[in-house]
Amino acid sequence: MGRLGVVFGVALSLFPALAQAEVPFWHTLGQGGFLEAEAERFNALQSRYRLKPRFVGDYRELGLLLTAALRNGTQPPFLQVELSFLPVLARAGLLEPLTPPSMPLDPHLLALGRVGGKQWGLPLGVSFPVLYFNRSALEARGVSPPKTPEELFHAAKRLSSRASKGLLFSADLYSFSLLVLAQGGRLADGGEPWFQGGLPALRWLLGLGREGALQVRGYNELTQAALDFLRTKAFMAFGPSTLLPAVEARTDIPFPVGAVLFPTDPTGTLGASGAVFVLLKGASLQEKAAFQAFYAHLMDPVRQQDLAQGTHYIPLHVEAQATFFKTSVGRLLGNAKARLRPWHQDAPLVLWAGPLERALERVLKGGVAPERALEEAEREARTLTFP
């Protein structure tokens, strides 16, 4: 082969790598974690697309960055967001409708990516609500893990003393929404704010406070709330199924932690959260193809199983689910998967987080009447729009 032929052959061998189309996307799952590792693996396994993931913080930070990007036209073609952000983007008309890949994926969990009857998001994994507790404290006092809000109320009273409270409550949107749903209530009606639906849950919390059994932290005191639990200032706390592995990865917990499915009334539901992919309007055909290819890559049963093992997300792929439901965290959910509902209640709930969270603090810390605080918060929420 002549010199020209050698050069031509080398050029051909390099062409696939040189031809990779760069496709950026934003995510909220943490820098250097599962999603970024899988993007790197995806890039190495094929030669058509080169994904460029960017971690942008939590959903609040994502909202601020996306608003600015939409104004100057620098938004990425697709995003990974928390499930609650889905109705915000759908209502704003920013999303392309999606079709799930032809794979054995759980239809009930896929349906969590629907808003208003349309598939606007494709879930990566779904978390379910859990009540965590200090196992040693409950055993020492002969308290059984509660299964209903009434049992939770009495358990918190029995666990409380001058030094420690039975239940830790973070006055944030997510935690309050879980409690409202568990008691059969709603914070939205027809996609609009209806905060009066949270009155029974708020009165329940006030009742615990009067009994000296409630430790309240504000929505901006999440670190202090975690320390309260670790330092046995409180013995029970709400959270998603993904919370415990995240905490265990950062610190040593000085006592055994137990967990039960979030206590609900017979009419209550379980507020599902999780990671979901969305495709923004304006994405090119090539970017749409990259999106679909990457999602199919993530739905591989082995990758889904790895994700579930490391994070305690419920996997979408039915083969990975079979393994997940044999684990201790999978057994918590048991046969209750059908009771999972999006914690956003088919409404842009996170858009209203500010007014509602301030109202919760005013009531639980400031002694303001709950009816008044919720009414004022609802009135403010009705004025908020995105972007």
102 contacts: CB under 8 Å, gap ≥ 6: none
Beta pairing class for 270-279 and 78-82: antiparallel
Which structure tokens are listed for 333? 């959910």
Is 152 in the same domain as 136?
yes
Is 27 in the same domain as 117?
yes
Collapse the DSSP code of 9 into the 3-class scheme (helix H, G, I; strand E, B; otherwise coil) and give the result: helix
Domain annotation covers residue 56: yes
| Chain segment 86-96, per-residue pLDDT in tens | 999 999 999 99
CATH of the domain at 307: 3.40.190.10
Query: Residue 218 forms beta bridges with which residues?
Result: 171
pLDDT value, residue 60? 84
Task: Find the radius of gyration of the CA atoms of the chain.
Answer: 23
Is 236 in the same domain as 179?
yes
Domain annotation covers residue 53: yes
| Chain segment 296-343, per-residue pLDDT in tens | 999 999 999 999 999 999 999 999 999 999 999 999 998 899 999 999
Is 231 in the same domain as 280?
no
Cβ(176)–Cβ(193) below 8 Å: no
Domain annotation covers residue 198: yes
Is 114 in the same domain as 160?
no
Domain annotation covers residue 7: no
pLDDT value, residue 186? 98
Is 99 in the same domain as 240?
no
Is 288 in the same domain as 359?
no
**Residue-range definition of the domain harbouring residue 283:** 19-127+272-335
Domain annotation covers residue 290: yes
Is 61 in the same domain as 158?
no
Classify burial at 131, counting beta carbons within 10 Å of its beta carbon; exposed 0-12, middle 13-18, buried 19 or more. buried
Of the candidates 80, 70, 2, the residue with the CA atom closest to the CA atom of residue 291? 80
Beta pairing class for 122-127 and 270-279: antiparallel
Is 257 in the same domain as 277?
no
Is 28 in the same domain as 176?
no
Report which DSSP code applies to 263. P
Is 142 in the same domain as 244?
yes
Cβ(74)–Cβ(44) below 8 Å: no
Domain annotation covers residue 291: yes
115 contacts: CB under 8 Å, gap ≥ 6: 86, 87, 90, 91, 121, 346
Cα–Cα distance between 289 and 221 in angstroms, integer? 41
Cα–Cα distance between 368 and 348 in angstroms, integer? 26
Cα–Cα distance between 170 and 38 in angstroms, integer? 33
CA atoms within a 13 Å half-sphere pointing along the CA-CB vector of 97: 6
Cα–Cα distance between 312 and 316 in angstroms, integer? 12
The verdict on pTM exceeding 0.75 is yes
Tokens 């889905």 locate to: 86
Is 234 in the same domain as 352?
yes
Domain annotation covers residue 356: yes
pLDDT, averaged per 10 consecutive residues of the chain (387 residues), comes to: 48 52 95 93 97 93 93 96 96 97 98 96 98 98 98 99 98 98 97 97 99 96 95 98 94 97 97 98 98 98 96 97 96 93 96 97 98 98 92
The number of folded domains in the chain is 2
pLDDT value, residue 3? 52
Domain annotation covers residue 375: yes
